[in-house]
Structure 1
């Protein structure tokens, strides 16, 4: 089994460019994917203890086998359209919920702005499901449709956008990428409440002289020896009936991580043999383990919050965030302000401040002479 997996990885690596070429559709805009409606699997109700599970967990189990849903808003030309660059260096894949309009608007004006940085093209996609139903679903779908018309950055499927369906969202995106964006060099995959310094991300990726996206990379806040939460009241509760191992495989916090195009396609390939799991970042770790690939730690990625070293400094001090790659959990107003602060040409940090104070002291001394 292990030898077989290793042989697949070696073959995939050697034939990476051929693999990508073979998955490019000649006319993606005219190609429509349609699947029959996925039916509820009632047999899962026979799982011991099923009646005690939360409604969200029950719903997850009922539809866990479903991997294909109708696409409501597509971006078939995002990576190869006449108005798009032929060579996207960094694709920002942002998990958002339909009601998070304010967050998406702020991201479009800050770190997720589509642009070229140091000659490297950055593009943006929001991946979204739908509300449960009724008038709210219709209203939010209309909102997303208008956003799509204005910004061309919404990728939406017709499934319930819940916490336990974040894994499904990742699986659907990777399948979409395999068909539509196989030539992307690198991806930033994250939530819509992270602060990502995309300038620093591009700078970091350009230091990888032996990796232009065609080799393995999966880095972020590395979590190892984590164990399943067995308390039913926890948001992250996973019963032993669903996962009976003592520990999860190594993974990176799902708030945000950076990966290569090669690794994204590898995860997509191996995910077909890994049952969907309700915790999305753990699931990515499972797929990496299946592919015999390891996630890595990046010290400037902080998905479990942050701590400013001094109590005399604002926790949103721009000099601190100017050096970071990604930090999780921001309100839109703080994100908007911070992005503009770290790009203020008059911002002085570290040694610049010390030199500034030294010059002032020197000038004051001269006046006294």
Structure 2
């Protein structure tokens, strides 16, 4: 680990298993467990007994928002005072077992670098694995990654779909305490492809102290009431049939101003099981609105003809973010969009007009 001229630590990106450099561990001895008690009164809610078990558990424990942190990176942004020197913080949600995705991201769009003076930093957000035996092994994996790269935040809660909102809440708390000055934040999944060059170029024309929250806008939708759906939200969680406007959680860009606003309102709003909807709730409470950007594609790229290759780098060279990619595709595309000999011709105009 080196100290750069701006006082922000430069983390060398190197293969974890090929060359492990041990540093003083950030694995904290957990002296306590959450004392948050189950809210058994929810069992008196009409229809509670018929709900799926994960929804019952959400209702029982949704008030629990304090969990011990297993792995931390308090100097990721050089400390609170120097955190304004971070132009873009990449905050990537990653389950403990997704090692290959994290490894590829470190080599490609998540590389900690300076883009013409704009400092980009990276952090992965993780919980724990539900299976106790497997979790023991994965904690060791994340510990090694943390010691090697200094880019893991891990809390002691189960990393499940309905706990993504909890992960989001705890990240905003960490951001407020450790990196409040970061100018902009990309918050997304570990299976997205980000054109970091384009993101930095786009953000250079904006002000960190103005409102910014962009992605693929979702409006005029409400809770899915089909119990077989991954996104099932019964009336016992919310009786409202509509959601506020929000952006798909695969990838969003937000400013420092908006991150602070979300944090402040998250202290007032109970957790909701769908994380991107919850962010929309926080924005609405703050009197802010999300916006759409055609370069943010959380449902992939749709080409205008079946004869065209949707994996053509000419489509991705002009975008900011695309969901979703498998690891090898990230590496191939990252190299392709930087190829100085890449010729796109009319394909670009066809796509942009789509």
Structure-2-length-normalised TM-score? 0.87
**For 1:292, what is the secondary structure of its paired residue?**
coil
Q: 1:105 to 1:283 in 2, by over 3 A?
A: same
- Confirm whether residue 53 of structure 1 aligns to residue 48 of structure 2: no
Correspondent of 1:147 among 145, 148, 166: 145
Q: 1:292 to 1:346 in 2, by over 3 A?
A: same
Q: 1:81 to 1:273 in 2, by over 3 A?
A: closer
Residue 275 (structure 2) aligns with: 280
CA deviation string 1:321-342 (max 9, x = no partner): 1011111111111111111111
Q: 1:216 to 1:33 in 2, by over 3 A?
A: farther
Larger gyration radius, structure 1 or structure 2 = 1
Correspondent of 2:176 among 174, 178, 190: 178
Structure-1-length-normalised TM-score? 0.83
Q: 1:323 to 1:278 in 2, by over 3 A?
A: same
Q: How much does 1:310 deviate?
A: 2.8
Correspondent of 1:106 among 104, 107, 120: 104
Residue 216 (structure 1) aligns with: 211
Q: How much does 1:36 deviate?
A: 4.3
Q: How much does 1:313 deviate?
A: 2.3
Q: Which runs of 4+ in 1 moved over 4 A?
A: 32-36, 351-354
Cα contact 2:194–2:320 (8 A) shared by 1: yes
Cα contact 1:167–1:276 (8 A) shared by 2: yes
**Structure 1: which 5+ residue stretches go unaligned?**
1-28, 355-369
Q: Which whole-Å CA distance do the structure 1 matches of 2:293 and 2:130 have between them?
A: 37
Residue 14 (structure 2) aligns with: none
Q: How much does 1:246 deviate?
A: 1.9
Q: 1:302 to 1:352 in 2, by over 3 A?
A: closer
Q: Which piece of structure 1 moves more, 305-314 or 49-58? A: 305-314
| Counterparts of residues 246-257 of structure 1 (less than 5 Å) | 246-257=241-252
Correspondent of 1:290 among 277, 285, 292: 285
Q: 1:75 to 1:286 in 2, by over 3 A?
A: same
**For 1:126, what is the secondary structure of its paired residue?**
strand
Residue 10 (structure 1) aligns with: none
Residue 299 (structure 1) aligns with: 294
Cα contact 1:98–1:129 (8 A) shared by 2: yes
Q: Which whole-Å CA distance do the structure 2 matches of 1:127 and 1:352 have between them?
A: 37
RMSD of the TM alignment (CA)?
A: 2.2
How many residues align? The count is 321
- Confirm whether residue 227 of structure 1 aligns to residue 240 of structure 2: no
Q: 1:343 to 1:349 in 2, by over 3 A?
A: same
CA deviation string 1:211-253 (max 9, x = no partner): 1x11211011011111110101110011112111121000000
**For 1:254, what is the secondary structure of its paired residue?**
coil
**Structure 2: which 5+ residue stretches go unaligned?**
1-25, 350-354
Q: How much does 1:86 deviate?
A: 6.2
Residue 326 (structure 2) aligns with: 331
Cα contact 1:80–1:86 (8 A) shared by 2: no
